[in-house]
Structure 1
Amino acid sequence: MIRTVVVLGVGYVLGAKAGRRRYEQLAGTYRAVTGHPAAKAALDAGRRKIADRVSPDPAMVHLTEIDSETTVIEPEQKS
């Protein structure tokens, strides 16, 4: 019985170390890829595109300047 517990304990410790190493490897690769400026730009563009499609707010369009400090805007009419 003690032998089985020791074998399971050793297996758990070795598996946890291997799993942690693999996790750190994957996390490092993810950070390297998402940290690159080109990848950031692509991710931001994709997020903006998705946000524009699912946004419940209509796009605002500039209509009239009342004076130099005041502008009237209203939702853009989709055709």
Structure 2
Amino acid sequence: MIRFVAVLGVGYVLGSKAGRRRYEQIVGTYRAVTGSPVAKSVIDAGRRRIANRVSPDAGMVELTEVDGQTVIIPPQQPPRQ
């Protein structure tokens, strides 16, 4: 997300200095690159890696006792309907 905002900022600055036509060219190139199936799969794979690091599957989380007075409650699966 940060990279996306940075690219937009750079595109805006370069576009405003070079004129509207150059800005449209930069935006068009960005959309062509990010719109390709290969780029989409790379972006999606990166998002999945980040999501797995931030919130791994419940089966992968190892619960350890903090101390004798603290209770750790494992996450529960929501009831299926």
TM-score under structure 1 length normalisation = 0.49
Structure with the bigger percentage of strand = 1
TM-score under structure 2 length normalisation = 0.48
- The structure whose Rg is larger is 1
State the structure with bigger RCO (CA 8 A, min sep 6), 1 or 2: 1
